[in-house]
Chains A and B, each alone.
Chain A
Amino acid sequence: MTFDVVYGLSPLLVVALGALLLMLAEAFGKPNPQGLAPTGEVSDAGAGRAGELGMGAAVVLFVGAALSLGVWLAGPDNLVGLELTRPYLIWDRFTVFVCFTLCLGGGLSCLLAGGYLTEHEIDRAEFFPLVLFSTVGAMALAAAGELLTLFVALETMSLGVYALVGLRRTPRSSEAALKYFLLGSFAAALMLFGAALLYGATGRTDLAGIGQAIAAIGQGEGPGAAQVLIALVLVVVGLAFKVSAVPFHMWTPDAYEGAPTPATSYMAVAVKTAAFAVMVRVLLIAFGDERLTSWASGWPPVLATLAVASMTVANLVAGRQSSVKRMLAYSSIAHAGYALVAVVATIRSPAAEGSILFYLLTYTVSTAGAFGALILCGSRGKEAVSYEDLAGIAKRHPAAAMAFSLFLLSLAGVPPTAGFFGKLYVFQAAIDAELYVLTVVGLLNSLVGAYYYLRVIVFMYMREPAPGATLAVPMRSGYVASALVIAAVLVIALGVLPNVTLEWAAIATVGRS
């Protein structure tokens, strides 16, 4: 019994324990005199050890991913002891799949940070415990089957990320962090109010109980039905903020651009993945009743509008950016739009949940890789930011350009990369669910999106840098290189042999009634 619980929750427990150990290692370890603060003094005990602490954090997260795989193979349903954690944490195959994705994305970001923080002299070791604690929150959020757990997990995840964004103490970074924080806490407060109304209308706080109570309230015109409707709107708005869907995306480009790039990568992959996981669970379990999932009187048309707006607006604006990092931020908004198509498809297609999970996995490896390649292309004082910085980099540093191209092609959805199959299954699920308009809009948007991804490749391979321009010089770092190799292998593996992963994703459902 106890073994079941400990083994089942081991990904969560290992990462939490790892975070505590890293904090101790940071506090009691000797500062490395090589890595000094820009002012020339040792600012904190962890300074100058970003490399080794990053390695430690990455190892912890990859162990978490391996344990998720182990739990998956043992089958969470066979671990009967896990019933004990219900309804607070619902540890089913859906959760375990998301945990794997989160640990993978977090681990890649930590490896990137191991190289990046040292190179750019923001050697602040608190980055790694923050990432680990935030990942613990993200995993609990994906598993949350009860409103209270959901909020504690949501805040655990978000608070770490707010601090990560403000890690670099420049005006831009602080501004980004503050904007993200203000909008994020506003969204959390809206969601909390929605949750309170749900509790008032149904008298329950577990999602399954809320779902049953809402089905019982049914068609009624009474105050209960109105409360449920207001709660639904508030919860959807709060979740849309977290997945950065248009029109709730205003913070995204700013926060992504102002944050140190490994933190951007972490936000783009882990926060979004966890937010989508909780969105699927809340919508299908708590708001899964027949009336609320119908096209006429429920959430599907709202989410469909958000999906179309996210894809279209983000793709159009992304093409006009001059900063590659900002372009990738808009690209992540567009990808949230594609994933939202699959969320809408869950109403009629049983395969849609699996397609979301598979999509999030492919998105995680491609996006972490793309940000990693952007990190690799720059070095201290010569960070690659704009398209011009990348001009002609293929001639000077073919490996960096090749890696970047691979991840961009995957994001654009070119076969045989992971991104292609991710998109394919999402659109297949949408067609299954007879959402033809959404599918067509999504396909058209993929074409528009290809423009700005290919533009980076054109700059890298076919342009010469302007005479006298500061050239971006790629950094040398084993950490960044190894993260890129891992991501590249996964991008190609998922693109060439998607079947096993897809079969696994297909059986990972939230078990709606």
Chain B
Amino acid sequence: MPLTSVLLLSMALFCIGVFGVLSRRNAIGILLGVELMANAVNINLVAFSRFQGGVVGQVFAVFAIALTVAEVVVGLALVILLYRSRKDVRVDEANALSG
């Protein structure tokens, strides 16, 4: 499989992720979009690593996965926090702060 097709795949995944973040109104949906973006990055890193030789890209991908997991843990905790106080996780309904 040539590098270009892998890059196209990751680019498509990334764009779907960006679209999800921008169009979703549900906090969990936005989080999923961010996850897709992060996974596109991982595909990219591993593909570059394979086609250029060397393991730096793979090490980077492992770290990126760990970082994303840590991020999701904090993110879901915040979603639960918001749900406990508002019984709703739609971000467009959360408008106590504005101006």
Residues of A whose CB lies within 8 Å of any CB of B are 147-148, 151-152, 155, 159, 162-163, 166, 169-172, 174-179, 181-182, 185-186, 188-190, 192-193, 195-197, 199-200, 203, 205, 253-254, 257-258, 321-323, 326
Residues of chain B contacted by A189 (CB below 8 angstroms): 17, 34, 37-38, 41
Query: In whole angstroms, how far apart are the Cα atoms of A170 and B17 in the complex?
Result: 30
A254 touches B75 (CB 8 A): no
Query: In whole angstroms, how far apart are the Cα atoms of A289 and B51 in the complex?
Result: 26
Query: In whole angstroms, how far apart are the Cα atoms of A258 and B82 in the complex?
Result: 13
Query: In whole angstroms, how far apart are the Cα atoms of A322 and B81 in the complex?
Result: 28
A185 touches B34 (CB 8 A): yes
Closest to A254 in B: B97
Q: Out of B44, B75, B82, B91, which one reaches A171, CB within 8 Å?
A: B82
B75 touches A199 (CB 8 A): no
A174 touches B97 (CB 8 A): no
Supposing A166-B81, A169-B81, A188-B71 touch, asked if A148 and B60 sit within 8 A by C-beta, the answer is yes
A174 touches B85 (CB 8 A): yes
B44 touches A182 (CB 8 A): no
B38 touches A192 (CB 8 A): yes
B51 → chain A closest CB, angstroms: 9
- A-side binding surface: helix, strand, loop or mixed? helix
Residues of chain B contacted by A166 (CB below 8 angstroms): 78, 81
**Chain B contact patch, size range:** 35 or more
A152 touches B78 (CB 8 A): no
Closest to A193 in B: B41
A202 → chain B closest CB, angstroms: 10
- The 3 A-B residue pairs whose C-beta atoms are closest, nearest first, are A189-B37, A200-B48, A196-B44
Residues of chain A contacted by B94 (CB below 8 angstroms): 171, 175, 178-179
Q: Out of B52, B60, B84, B97, which one reaches A175, CB within 8 Å?
A: B97
Residues of chain A contacted by B34 (CB below 8 angstroms): 182, 185-186, 189
Residues of chain A contacted by B98 (CB below 8 angstroms): 254
Supposing A147-B60, A151-B67 touch, asked if A175 and B44 sit within 8 A by C-beta, the answer is no
Q: Apart from A147-B60, A196-B60, A199-B57, list 20 A-B contacts with CB within 8 A.
A: A159-B70, A169-B84, A171-B82, A171-B96, A174-B81, A175-B86, A175-B96, A175-B97, A177-B81, A181-B74, A182-B21, A182-B75, A185-B34, A189-B38, A197-B44, A199-B48, A200-B52, A254-B97, A258-B97, A322-B99
Q: Out of B41, B60, B71, B79, which one reaches A178, CB within 8 Å?
A: B79
